[in-house]
Every structure is written in C-alpha cells, then in structure tokens.
Amino acid sequence: MKTVRFKIDGREIEAQEGISVLAAARSNGIRIPTLCYHSALKPIGACKLCGIEVKGRAGKWRILLSCILRVREGLEVRTQSKSVIKARTTAFRNLLSMAPQSKFIRNLAEEYNIDLGPTPDGCIRCRLCIRVCKEIVGAGALKMEKRNGISYVTPEEGLCIGCGTCVNLCPTDAIQMTDREGNRIISIRDETIGVHALERCEACGSYFASRKFIKHVSELTSTHTDLKEHHLFCPTCAKLFSNRVKSFSRIRRGE
C-alpha cells in the first residue's frame, strides 16, 4: 500500500494512504480525544471530540474530524491550536449537557486540559435557603462564598439549628437532610451544614426536632405571656391531641 507524508503540529509523519488522521496520529504517539470511535467500527464522528484544524488547498485553516478525515500527501493538521481547543471544549460541554454527572467525560476533559467549569452540584444559586434562614428562621447559618472565583452556598460554622427549613424550601433538592439514630445531618454537596441531636415526642416516642431548634423557638418566644405546661410533642401528635395534651401526659406518667 502506498505511503504518504504529511504534517501534524509541524512534525512530518509517514502513514499508509487511506487511513484516518486519528489512526495515524495515535500510531505516532499523538493523542486526540474520542468517545464514539472504535477501530472495529466505521467512524461516524458523533462525539465531535476528535476535531483538528486542517489547512485547505487555498491556505485557509478549518476544523474537521480526524476519525473521518483520511491522510493524503502534503496534508497539514494541528491538534493543539486555539481553534482546536475551542472546538474541543464545545464538544465536551455538549456531551456534558446530555450526561452532566458523567465522571468519565470530566476526567477525559481534564486529561486534555479542557476547563469545563465547576462540577454540577444541583444548586442554582437562587439564595432562597440563605434568605429564609436569615429573614424568617433568624439563624443566619448560610452564606454565599467565592471559591476559586465561583460562588457557593456554604455554612456559617456553628449557626445551623437543624430546623430543615432550607431543605424544604430548596427548589432543586441540593440541600439534603437525613435523620438517623437520633441525629439529624444537613448537608449541601459533600459539605456538612450541621449535625444535631434530636428530641423524642413525649406521646409517640418518635424523633421529631433538634434540640437547638427547640431552644431557638423557646428563646424567640421567651417574652410572651406563658401560663401553660410545656411538653415536647411532634406536629402530628400536637394536632391529634391538642385538646387532650394535659390528660394524655398524666396517663403516660401513671398519675
């Protein structure tokens, strides 16, 4: 089979006529990213990651797909030009729009020094959590903080009271709350906002609210006139037994 000479990034390459530029590049240790390419199958250029810049006969450079383009005598291609990096970045981002949680795509982009921006964390930066925690709850446990030029919702250390209001209000479920073995854990991404011991309902015995939250409510209402006997009831029991709270408590104490 005839051998042709062509250039990749200024380096002269010899390859068999008719093979793809991608195959020729790889056989000479020149890396070009791909996802949809397999040597046993006919290339279709679906992922668009293997784009290279090719010098046309009139001297004008344009982006073509190296898995489809065949080598020819005198061909000149670039694999690391600004235009190639731009096309490659666009291709990676298009793929991520279809598979936003794919670690494989992100790891491959990192191998080729393609900046895809921050990993999606589910947070749309609407600030509802921050506002409700400050303006309604009064705890002020959340804030916006810039990290490497990117804004994130982050906790103010020690201020979370474990009420779960931010979790209930978050429109994308980016903030998670888990009640397990008498403790409540509130987190965003892989970052813990607060860990809280829970109190049991005096009626049904289920865990229902954090101690910090109960204390917070008590402090907020401390100036109110209060002549009632206090009990710890979950919302369900408080509603069911609102007219019989006192007698029910006496029965449980064996009075």
Q: Do 68 and 162 belong together in one domain?
A: no
Residue 122's pLDDT is what? 87
- pLDDT at residue 105, rounded to an integer: 94
Query: Domain check: are 138 and 210 in the same one?
Result: yes
Residue 89 sits in a domain of what CATH number? 3.10.20.740
Q: Could you tell me if residue 239 is inside a domain? A: no
Residues near 116 by Cβ (< 8 Å), separated by ≥ 6?
89, 92, 93, 96, 106, 109
- Strand, coil or helix: what is 218? helix
What is the distance between the alpha carbons of residues 174 and 172, in angstroms, rounded to a whole number? 5
Q: What pLDDT score does 119 carry? A: 80
**120 in a structural domain:** no
Could you say which residues of the chain have pLDDT below 50? 245
Domain hosting residue 173, numbered range:
128-228
Residue 118 lies in a domain: no
Say if 101 falls within a structural domain. Answer: yes
Answer yes or no: do 106 and 175 share one domain. Answer: no
Identify whether residues 182 and 97 lie together within a single domain: no
Per the DSSP assignment, residues forming a β-bridge with 209 are: 199
Q: How many domains does the chain have?
A: 2
63, 55 in Cβ contact below 8 A? Answer: no
240: in domain: no
Tell whether 151 is covered by a domain.
yes
Co-location of 144 and 185 in the same domain: yes
HSE-CB of 57 using CA atoms within 13 angstroms: 2
